[in-house]
A and B are shown apart, each in its own frame.
Chain A
Amino acid sequence: MSNRPGRPSPAAAKPVLGRVLKQLIRFYPRLVPVSALCILFSAVVATLPTVVTQQIVASIEKWFNVDNGWSSASGEIIPRVILLAGLYLLSLAAVTAYNQLNAIITQGFLNKFRKTMFSGMQYLPIKYFDTHKFGDIMSHYTNDMDTLRQLVSQTFPQFISSGTIVISVTVLMLYYSFWMALIVAAGVILMLLVSRKIGGGSARYFMAQQKNVGKTEGFVQEMMSGQRVVKVFNHEEKSMEDFDRINGELFEVSYKAHAYANSLGPIIMNIGNVLYVVCAVAGGLFLLGGVPNVSLSGLPFSIAIVVPFLNMCRQFTGNINQLSQQINSIVMAMAGASRIFALIDEKPETDDGYVTLVNAVVDEDGNITESENHTGVWAWKHPHTDGSGTTYKLLEGDVQMVDVDFAYEEGKDVLHDVSVYARPGQKVAFVGATGAGKTTITNLINRFYDIADGKIRYDGINVNKIRKDDLRRSLGLVLQDTNLFTGTVMDNIRYGKLDATDEECIAAAKLAGADDFITRLPQGYGTPLTGNGANLSQGQRQLLAIARAAVADPPVMILDEATSSIDTRTEAIVQRGMDELMKGRTVFVIAHRLSTVMNSDVIMVLDHGRIIERGSHEKLIADKGVYYRLYTGAFELE
């Protein structure tokens, strides 16, 4: 899986474009060709007036000086006009059809693409989210998607349509006159050169604009969220200065990008005008000078050839102008698409686990059998790869780490030789400075990251063999940064166990000590939460997160600074609930407040990825080591 397109480069544009097209056709194998045909048809019809005009003008010439000419001419002219009108009607149907189809295709395509991206993202390892900026991930869904919309809804159809017109007009030109066609060709080459030059410049500045917008956004983000500090330090003028500088840079590139883009149209159109005049004059000179015509049709020079040529000239100019306007969106879309593909192509987290969690029944002899029903008893179903059949083992919550080494980045070890034995029902605490590796240990137990060396066993089974979903379902997780979802309070608690009844959720909230404040909310459990629970205090949000973990009722809980934002008095109240919650479960606690960890069965003191002390609170105090110094406040924790 090495196809991770990096930054967009011109060379990479083609495969990306091809990939977008391929996806498009795969999503809509019938609609896309039908729509393309409709565009093609209407484009061809759009060139027909030229032919008809040529013939009509020829008729006019023929009957111009004849008395009562119309009665004779009408015989030639009217059928042609009727034929044209008929084709127009068909084309109108085609135009209507492809415009409707395009709306359907574009939105359907974006929807499928968005969903592909989102579902792919769900299975990416935590590492991806730890190493990519949040804003960057978001912009794949907003800006990058928007460039794709532009590409599918406008650029592609425009290319088919303009391309067809350019080709058919070229053929017509050659049909009527080589000489005139040569003049037009020269003009067109000039237009293409100009549009490549200007269009390229504009695309370059548009990319720069995108970058500068990002920079401005970053600065504004920082200043807006730090606005209070700005005020406290009277720093308004200074930050205004900094902002004006960045703002000025954005102006420069934005100005240039739009300047190039804006002037491209008028320049092309007026080159077109010049070309038009040159055609007219040249045609006139050819006529007056009696130059012999060279053409596919073999028609001699006449006003009937010059007039349609003038129209074709316009048509050519118009379409080249349209195409040149698309250069920007192609460049931008290619960059956007390759960023989206980079996300889609990101390697999902590997899961080779085959041990699964099943409902079980235990008979009197202690034999475990699998059950279809919800029995309240869970067991690991372990099909052995050596062919010795399937065994079952009760889910108990015994976690062992043996000689574990780990590094987030190659060569920078975060954990060395860490061994932890947690028997079912034990409370294990981790204490240590920021960066000592406390959270890393819990990241390894639920396999947010995979270990480099050593073994982690859950109920005696190597965690690598357990299916990730089942492993994680058996581990409750409460983090320092609580994340709540848009929905009611009840919905948020139920997130821990989707089929939980209201009663179960309320019981869990009571256990966590959250019931008290929830019932005092305006709509109780039905209170809607938005913006990550913005209407709740940090402490209340942590209580909800605890309730959410409680309703899942897992045998193992990981509490990573779960009560850090609750003040000591409230914590004392919550403590009872917490003790209740931890009863009978294996618990890993990370807390910076030592009062939270004191009653653990075993406390591990971590320093630079090594366990330097372990034992109960009493033992560690008696040892008068690092823990003792931490406890007495002689040592800084974070």
Chain B
Amino acid sequence: MFRKLLGSVREYKKATWLTLILIVAEAVIETVIPFITANLVNNIKAGAEMAVVIRTGLLLILLALLSLACGGIAGFSCAKASAGFAKNLRHDIFRKVQSFSFRNIDKFSSSSLVTRMTTDVSNVQMAFMMVIRTAIRSPLMLIFAVTMAFIMGGKLALTFVIVIPILAVGLFLVSRKAMPAFRRVFRRYDRLNESIEENVQAMRVVKGFAREDYEKAKFSEASDSIAVDFTKAERIVALNMPIMQFCVYFNTVFVLLIGSRMVITSQGSVIDVGQLSAMLTYGMQILMSLMMLSFIYVMLTMSAESMKRICEVLDEVPTITEKENPVTAVADGSVSFRGVSFKYSEQAEKYALSDIDLEIPSGAVVGIIGGTGSSKSSLVQLIPRLYDVSKGSVSVAGVDVRDYSLKALRNAVAMVLQKNQLFAGTVKDNLRWGNENATDGEIEEACRLAQADEFIQTFPDKYDSWIEQGGSNVSGGQKQRLCIARALIKKPKILILDDSTSAVDTRTDALIRAGFRSYIPETTKLIIAQRISSVQDADMIVVMDNGRISAAGTHEQLLKSSDIYREVYEQQTNGGDSNE
């Protein structure tokens, strides 16, 4: 898992290594400084010459400046490495998602993908930064400082033999106990946030039923129980501090007592006052290093969850891939389904589509109707290979769709999805999704065809008017017509409208269909609709029921042969046929 993620460091490897080297240098200097200072202090105490004192002083200042440079530059390179790492991770996740098939997308909800790309990545970024700043530095500092302490303080360094194990064991026990507690808290925290989300989104329901007090009580309970758990976890961690303090205190008392005795009895031959104060400094360094190590341990385990979630995305295998040497051109718009069965996941018991056989000649207009859950959408989604069939085959222009390159196939098949989406940008920006290089003329023509030009002209900035995220500032009918225009700009061989004119009035709907017939006669048109009027003049109407083709034929044929069709027709025209 670590190796996998570290693969995303890429161009920031240099910054990472630079950080590591600088930090090692800084650690070395930092342990040398107290050593030299001790001598300086002894010199002063012994009343050495001024020149010696100044020379040592200058050396020390030089070292400090060097350490400052190392630390400062390391700060920058480390930030660069970790921010860059995060950038690459986000890039990789995003890229991966771009390669996902619809089946892959179904597996991850869009909000979970967002969390992975933001919160999780930033957790990993912080952990990475922490690791390169301290993972090497702390153990090194520990070793250097202990070594120096032994060289300098001799027996006095025995204090560390006592203190280090105490601190290490203490910290280890605390983090081991705290970790599961924290993980539990975080999971509950997620759930609490979900329930806030639910509450905010359902505010009209909450107020409509006057359930404010009920919601408050519900939240209060959840919040309290988290507070209890969180306090418990925090209190375990809060033991770190006293343990650390105890070690520092012990060290101080030990050094002062034993040290002063050693100085006096040996008359400064073993250690002197300078070493005494240096030992206190080393003590701090050693204990801090241990503390940092325990931080790293905690951080890594905490961010392990985030890493796992990121890896889940990166490891996901796109279920739809291209063949080698794929066919790169689609000859015409004929479609054929042969013995097609399809289910959304391997584990699903029920097939969404069963035994579909259907031949659609190029340029035909095909209407598809059926109730909710009759798998109308599932049927057409197989044509641009949004999903792959489970059994049988779907061909376009006589070639199995799996033999085409995805780009060629999807460029030839334009699909207006049921769950339409416009993106933040101008009208033109949105339309150019169909063809980046479309001229203004082409755009306007497509819009006239989709009956969208008329209302676009009423916008203050016409084609440069701003569309809000999700297209929230245009009406449902307008949005649908923009989406149709966007699909038309592709100049597709096959055009699929999945319930795409439901909010458009019947007259405009008829105009759009008439436009199709006269302007793009060669394009095969598949139209899924709830309204019979949207499909009744089609060359062929397919009636779907429960994942099977229940009947197919023209309007007149179906009125005679299909009960479902007749029933729907009568319902929709009931009492309203005065106009038809």
Contact = CB atoms under 8 A, between A and B. Distances in A.
Interface stretch (B90-98, B354-362, B438-446): B90-98
Given A65-B267, A95-B245, A115-B223, A220 B94 contact: yes
Contacts of B257: 77-78, 81
Interface in B208-265: 208-216, 219-220, 223-224, 226-227, 230-231, 234-235, 237-239, 241-242, 245-246, 249, 252-253, 256-257, 260-261, 263-265
Contact of B118 (A114, A220, A266): A220
B530 to A, nearest CB: 6
A271 B68 CA distance: 8
Contacts of B47: 287-288
Contacts of B475: 433-435, 638
Interface stretch (B159-167, B292-300, B410-418, B546-554): B410-418
A61, A64, A142, A636 — most chain B CB neighbours (10 Å): A636
A59 interface: yes
Given A129-B200, A248-B87, A263 B193 contact: no
B363 interface: no
A325 interface: no
Given A74-B261, A91-B249, A100-B238, A84 B256 contact: yes
Contacts of B533: 633
B326 interface: no
B110 A635 contact: no
Interface stretch (A10-18, A101-109, A422-430, A505-513): A101-109
A228 to B, nearest CB: 6
B372 interface: yes
Given A108-B227, A234-B407, A284 B114 contact: no
B571 interface: yes
B449 interface: no
Contacts of A488: none
A255 B83 contact: yes
Nearest to A67: B267
Interface string A470-497: 1011010101000111100000000110
A60 B87 contact: no
Nearest to A229: B421
Interface in A445-486: 446, 448, 468-470, 472-473, 475, 477, 479, 483-486
Nearest to A236: B98
B302 interface: no
Interface stretch (B392-400, B456-464, B501-509): B501-509
Interface string A73-84: 110011001001
Contact of A595 (B220, B246, B506, B571): B571
Interface stretch (A304-312, A372-380, A403-411, A518-526): A304-312
Contacts of B8: none
B209 A224 contact: no
Contacts of A568: 530, 568, 571-572
Contact of B530 (A213, A221, A283, A567): A567
Contacts of B117: 216, 220
Interface in A277-321: 277-278, 280-281, 283-285, 287-289, 303, 306-307, 310-311, 314
A266 B70 contact: yes
| Majority secondary structure of chain B interface residues (helix, strand, loop or mixed) | helix
Contacts of A264: 75
A288 B46 CA distance: 10
Contacts of A636: 477, 504-505, 507-508
B44 A227 contact: no
A435 B224 CA distance: 43
Interface in B51-70: 53-54, 56-57, 60-61, 63-65, 67-68, 70
B246 A92 contact: yes
A607 to B, nearest CB: 14
A281 B78 contact: no
Interface residues of A, number: 163
Contact of B215 (A110, A122, A230, A433): A122
Contact of A311 (B125, B277, B508): B277
Given A472-B209, A477-B208, A314 B281 contact: yes
A258 B80 CA distance: 8
Interface string B69-107: 011111110111011101100110011011111100100
Interface stretch (A164-172, A173-181, A239-247, A413-421): A239-247
A74 B261 CA distance: 8
Contacts of A288: 44, 47, 50, 53
Contacts of B231: 103-104, 107-108
B506 A567 contact: no
B367 interface: no
Nearest to A48: B252
Given A96-B242, A266-B71, A636-B504, A496 B273 contact: no
Contacts of A78: 257
A486 B234 contact: no
A612 interface: no
B48, B56, B257 — most chain A CB neighbours (10 Å): B257
Nearest to A539: B372
B91 to A, nearest CB: 6
B204 A233 contact: no
B378 to A, nearest CB: 14
B99 A236 contact: yes
A638 B479 CA distance: 10
B419 interface: yes
Contacts of B83: 251, 254-255, 258
Nearest to B26: A266
B373 interface: yes
B54 A281 contact: yes
A570 B384 contact: no
Nearest to A237: B98
A497 B63 CA distance: 75
A532 B202 CA distance: 9
Contact of A472 (B57, B197, B207, B242): B207
A70 B260 CA distance: 9
A104 B235 contact: yes
A287 B44 CA distance: 8
B349 to A, nearest CB: 12
A81 B252 CA distance: 9
B384 A637 contact: no
Given A70-B265, A84-B253, A537 B372 contact: yes
Contact of A483 (B201, B214, B372): B201
Nearest to B22: A266
B200 A634 contact: no
Contact of B227 (A111, A260, A484): A111
A57 B273 contact: yes
B434 interface: yes
A235 B421 CA distance: 13
Interface in B551-580: 567-568, 571-572, 574-576, 578-579
Interface stretch (A133-141, A331-339, A581-589): A133-141
Nearest to B125: A254
Contacts of B273: 57, 60-61, 303, 307
B476 interface: yes
Given A106-B234, A243-B91, A435-B475, A52 B256 contact: yes
B505 A110 contact: no
A632 interface: yes
A150 interface: no
Nearest to B44: A284
Given A224-B114, A280-B57, A288-B53, A233 B490 contact: yes
15 contacts: A53-B277, A107-B231, A111-B226, A218-B469, A227-B105, A233-B433, A233-B490, A239-B98, A264-B75, A284-B43, A287-B47, A485-B198, A567-B372, A568-B530, A632-B578
Given A228-B419, A311-B277, 4 more contacts: A222-B470, A281-B40, A306-B41, A475-B208
Please give me the 10 A-B residue pairs with the lowest Cβ-Cβ distance, nearest first. Answer: A266-B71, A633-B506, A263-B75, A262-B75, A483-B202, A270-B68, A258-B79, A636-B505, A103-B234, A281-B57
